[in-house]
Amino acid sequence: MSATIKDVAQSAGVSFKTVSRVMNGEEGVRDSTRKKVQDAATTLNFQINTSARNLRRRGSNLIALIISNPSRSYIENIQIGAMEWCSRNGFHLVVEDVSAHPKGLSDLLSRGAMAGVILIPPMSDDPDIQRQLIDKSIPFVRIAPETANDKAPSVRIDDRAAAREMTKKLITLGHSRIGLITGPSEFGVSRNRLAGYRDALVESGLTIEETLICEGAFSYPSGQSCTSDLFDLPAPPTAIFASNDDMAAGAIAETYRRGIAVPADVTIVGYDDVAVASVISPPLSTVRQPLKDMAAQAAALLLARIRDAQSEPQHIILPHSLVMRASHGPCGKT
């Protein structure tokens, strides 16, 4: 086994408490002593024992990212952002798939195991999980919750405004029959984006046709099948707004399958601006949300709560933008 603090202390000729002080970069150690200890630690290839440290400190250096459907490309960016933040701040990221946990997260959340938890949709809106976390007094942060509350900090973009803007953009292009592929209704973001879509139509004096609204699953195949349904309508839409890019990619595929051209015959836009958006053909016009930033900021807010559980939970709204690539165009039909 590798060396302990006591080994280092003996080798450096000081007490093990002094070694501890050096290891934690505390003040009040003479420079000469510090050097002696550091040399001894290097020589012995000393690595601190995290379990002992965490036990004594009643803390942890682990942050959990709880996800439910690991194959969403959305998650990739969140994870990267969180991972980078953790690296820079002395934490490690534990990624846990709640859907693979039949009987809940009890062992993951065992006392002191996690310093904090990052929740993404749909868990951001799951009252069950949040109650568990509060019961165990584990700090957590919510990414893209439907609405902010005072239980935990949150980071989001203004989904309603973003969806409204994109819809208005389509209206400006001359589209009046705009299909909407929503996410699952248990996602707060789905509801917010739907609301933004409705806002735009109402503001523009257009009627909302419920048949133009199709609930997808944030997945590629669900984008295909919703699109198929929309095209089978007696009066199909001239533009389709998918609530994420995976579904937009599915929509484009289904459109092509039917021999319909994008964007010449139909406009298709997405949401998120993940990797697939710039990779498919035509490159997707979409709503960009700064997912990596959101994750990093969420981690930062979480840290504040880890440090002081009484601190006021902060709520950050990050800016979004419309990235208009090549999958949109003016409405051909009148």
Give CA angle at 125 (122, 127), nearest 5°.
Answer: 120
Q: Are 49 and 23 in contact (CB under 8 A)?
A: no
**Judged by CB under 8 A, which stretch of 24-32, 98-106, 146-154, 180-188 contacts a copy of itself?**
98-106
**3-class SS of residue 5:** helix
What does the per-residue mask of binding to DNA show for 44-63, with x meaning CB under 7 A?
----xx--xx-xxxx-----
Nearer to a copy of itself, 101 or 177 (CB): 101
Does residue 307 bind DNA (CB under 7 A)? no
DSSP per position, 229-256: HHHTSSS--SEEEESSHHHHHHHHHHHH
Q: Does 265 bind a copy of itself (CB under 8 A)?
A: no
Of 190-219, binders to a copy of itself (CB under 8 A) are: none
Among 21, 160, 305, 320, binds DNA (CB under 7 A): 21
Contact string (CB under 7 A) for DNA, positions 107-126, x = contact: ----x---------------
Residues 54, 55, 56, 57: what is their CA dihedral angle, to the nearest 10 degrees?
40
Question: Binder to DNA among 6, 131, 257, 307 (CB under 7 A)?
Answer: 6
Which of 14, 40, 93, 248 binds a copy of itself (CB under 8 A)? It is 93
Q: How many whole angstroms separate alpha carbon 212 and alpha carbon 89?
A: 47
| Residue among 47 and 211 whose Cβ is closer to DNA | 47
> 44-70 b/e with 16+ CB inside 10 Å = b?
bebeeeeeeebeeeeebebbbbbbbbe
The 8-class DSSP code of residue 121 comes to T
Q: Residue 128, by phi and psi: left (phi above 0), alpha (psi -120 to 50) or beta?
A: alpha
The entry of DNA, a copy of itself, none near residue 16 (CB within 5 to 8 angstroms by kind) is: DNA
**Which of 95, 161, 260, 316 forms a contact with a copy of itself (CB under 8 A)?**
95
Provide, rounded to whole angstroms, the least separation between the CB of residue 2 and a copy of itself: 5
Contact flag: residue 38 with a copy of itself (CB under 8 A): no
Q: Which stretch binds DNA (CB under 7 A): 7-15, 89-97, 246-254, 268-276?
A: 7-15
100 near a copy of itself (CB under 8 A): yes
* Cα–Cα distance measured from residue 278 to residue 92, given in angstroms and rounded to the nearest whole number: 30
* Contact of 272 with 243, CB cutoff 8 Å: no
Q: Does 134 bind a copy of itself (CB under 8 A)?
A: no
Q: Which residue has the tokens 């669900």?
A: 222
**CA dist., res. 292 & res. 295, Å (int):** 5
Q: Which of a copy of itself, DNA, none binds 261 (CB below 5-8 Å, type-dependent)?
A: none
203 contact partners, CB below 8 Å, separation of at least 6: 164, 168
Residue 162 in contact with a copy of itself, rule: CB under 8 A? no
- The full DSSP string for 30-59 is -HHHHHHHHHHHHHTT----HHHHHHHHT-
Q: How far is the CB of 144 from DNA (least distance, A)?
A: 35
| Bridge partner list, 317 | 156
Q: At its nearest, how many Å lie between DNA and the CB of residue 130?
A: 24
Of the ranges 64-72, 119-127, 146-154, 182-190, which one interacts with a copy of itself (CB under 8 A)? 64-72
Q: Which of 60, 227, 289, 297 binds a copy of itself (CB under 8 A)?
A: 60
Residues that bind DNA (CB under 7 A): 1, 4-6, 13-18, 20-21, 23-24, 27-30, 32-33, 48-49, 52-53, 55-58, 111
